[in-house]
């Protein structure tokens, strides 16, 4: 074809010169990784606001520093790469989740170190977003937990408690109180709430409603089950999370607690206080926002079910038989390690590979 002919066409049809050529599909459902990150951040906002409301300015500072540290380290590590991943929201989310997992009045260098460890070691040493095999926020939390166990287990009480006549500024979490109370316990008591009340394990008595609404000591973001559930409902509607992991995680954990949970208080089998365990500690935050992390959970629905069952079992084991009162972080991290194995073992059934009815008919 002559060049003049081509030139003539160009003059006639300028639009044709700027056409995009790409492989199918030519349209998209408009989802985007950044949008997913933003959705999770939106879902966490109610719980964050609540944490700052009941624990005050130190909680706010902790949240802000966690985020600044995570985003800052992400920015440093991606200097010169194009396009930078610092704006994709993932580092912000990791930082926010680390803040959620900090005690409210923790020394401020701890969230900074936790975020730096999460981003630099857990996330980027494996290649950044999508390549890490362990949840960065949880790994960051566990790292500082074992580095500064004292500071990480000193709990500032909700500010409102002083108005109710509590003098002390710090105290145990409900799970911590139960755990320490059980060291020299023998006898029978109806359940953990009565146990706390009878032995005065907490400065104030605690009710299910306190646990549900979040009027108890704990990590900044974990205390209000209600607000975390609302956030998760939003994510469910936005199809960011699916039912498999939460349902199987809660389900297996609740079943084990119901069957064996009462034995510690001198009760028989099938008498555990399921509600208390579902609402206390980091379970809501862990199950709804950490175990459901896409990068570090299995790919297939079936794999997710195995993951959830395993995490529920491990959480139960650690909470009831471990030396720490809380087991959610460790349980999820251990299950993270199993994810590649689960992915290899559980694959979808390929179309047309099962025994065919049609074959029988044809033969």
Partner 1 sequence: MKGLKTFAKGGVHPHDRKELASSEAIQSLRLPEKLIIPLQQHIGAPPTLKVEKEAEVAAGDILAEAGGFVSSPIHAPVGGTIGEMRSIYLPNGAKTQAVELLPAAPEGEEAALNPSSTDAKELIDRIAAMGIVGMGGATFPTHVKYSIPKGSKAEFFIANGVECEPYLTADHRLMLEKSSEIVKGIEIAAEILGPDHVYIAIENNKPDAIEAMSAAAAGASIPIEVVPLKLRYPQGDEKMVIQAITGREVPSGGLPIAVGTVVSNVGTLNAIYEAVELSKPLTHRVVTVSGNGIENPGNYLAPIGTPFSHLIEEAGGTSGNTVKIVAGGPMTGFTVFDPETTPVIKGTSGLLALTAKEIRETQTTSCIRCGRCIRVCPVGLSPTLLYKCVDHNDIDAALEEGLNDCRECGSCGFVCPAHIPLVQGMKLGKRLARRRKEAS
Interface contacts to partner 1, rule CB under 8 A: 1, 9, 13, 15-16, 18-33, 35-36, 83, 85, 88, 127-131, 294-301, 304, 347-354, 356-359, 361-362
Q: Cβ closer to partner 1: 89 or 181? A: 89
Instruction: Compute the distance between CA of residue 157 and CA of residue 69 in angstroms, rounded to an integer.
Output: 26
Q: Cβ closer to partner 1: 224 or 297? A: 297
Q: Tokens 């704006």, residue?
A: 87
Q: Cβ closer to partner 1: 26 or 168? A: 26
Q: CB 115 → partner 1: shortest distance, Å?
A: 20
Q: CB 310 → partner 1: shortest distance, Å?
A: 17
Q: CB 326 → partner 1: shortest distance, Å?
A: 27
CA distances from 142 to 105, 252, 293 (A): 17, 23, 17
Which sign, positive or negative, has the C-alpha torsion 282, 288, 291, 294? negative
For residue 196, count CB atoms less than 10 angstroms from its CB and return exposed for 0-12, middle for 13-18, buried for 19 or more: buried
CA-based end-to-end distance of the chain: 57
Q: Cβ closer to partner 1: 33 or 180? A: 33
Q: CB 12 → partner 1: shortest distance, Å?
A: 9
Instruction: Compute the distance between CA of residue 181 and CA of residue 269 in angstroms, rounded to an integer.
Output: 21
For residue 48, count CB atoms less than 10 angstroms from its CB and return exposed for 0-12, middle for 13-18, buried for 19 or more: buried
What's CA 90's distance to the chain center, in Å?
A: 13
Q: CB 36 → partner 1: shortest distance, Å?
A: 6
Q: Cβ closer to partner 1: 244 or 273? A: 244
Can you point out the beta strands (E) in the chain? 155-156, 170-171
Q: Cβ closer to partner 1: 86 or 174? A: 86
Q: CB 100 → partner 1: shortest distance, Å?
A: 20
Which residue in 199, 202, 187 sits closest to 280, CA to CA? 202
Q: Cβ closer to partner 1: 31 or 125? A: 31
Instruction: Compute the distance between CA of residue 348 and CA of residue 342 in angstroms, rounded to an integer.
Output: 12
Q: CB 124 → partner 1: shortest distance, Å?
A: 12
């Amino acid at each position: 074809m002559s060049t003049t002919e081509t030139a003539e066409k160009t003059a006639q049809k300028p639009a044709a010169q700027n056409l995009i050529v790409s492989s199918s599909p030519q349209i998209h459902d408009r989802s985007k990784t950044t949008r997913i990150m933003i959705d999770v951040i939106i879902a966490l906002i109610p719980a964050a606001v609540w944490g700052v409301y009941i624990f005050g300015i130190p909680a706010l500072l902790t949240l802000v520093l966690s985020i600044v540290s995570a985003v800052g380290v992400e920015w440093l590590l991606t200097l010169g790469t194009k396009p930078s991943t610092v704006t994709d929201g993932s580092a912000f989310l990791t930082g926010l989740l680390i803040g959620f997992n900090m005690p409210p009045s923790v020394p401020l260098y701890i969230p900074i170190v936790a975020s730096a460890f999460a981003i630099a070691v857990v996330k980027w040493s494996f290649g950044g977003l999508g390549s890490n095999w362990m949840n960065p926020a949880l790994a960051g939390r566990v790292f500082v937990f074992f580095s500064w166990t004292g500071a990480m287990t000193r709990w500032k009480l909700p500010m409102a408690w002083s108005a109710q006549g509590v003098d002390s500024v710090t105290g145990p979490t409900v799970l911590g109180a139960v755990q320490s109370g059980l060291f020299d316990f023998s006898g029978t008591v109806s359940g953990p709430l009565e146990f706390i009340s009878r032995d005065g394990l907490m400065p104030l008595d605690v009710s299910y409603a306190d646990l549900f609404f979040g009027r108890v000591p704990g990590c900044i973001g974990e205390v209000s089950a209600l607000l975390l559930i609302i956030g998760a409902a939003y994510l469910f509607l936005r199809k960011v999370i699916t039912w498999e992991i939460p349902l199987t995680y809660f389900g297996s954990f609740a079943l084990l607690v119901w069957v064996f949970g009462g034995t510690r208080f001198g009760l028989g089998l099938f008498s555990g206080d399921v509600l208390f365990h579902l609402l206390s500690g980091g379970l809501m935050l862990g199950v709804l926002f950490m175990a459901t992390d896409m990068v570090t959970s299995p790919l297939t629905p079936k794999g997710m079910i195995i993951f959830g069952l395993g995490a529920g079992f491990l959480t139960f084991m650690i909470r009831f038989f471990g030396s720490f009162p809380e087991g959610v972080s460790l349980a999820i991290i251990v299950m993270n390690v199993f994810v590649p194995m689960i992915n290899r073992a559980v694959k979808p059934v390929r179309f047309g590979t099962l025994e065919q009815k049609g074959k029988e008919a044809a033969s």
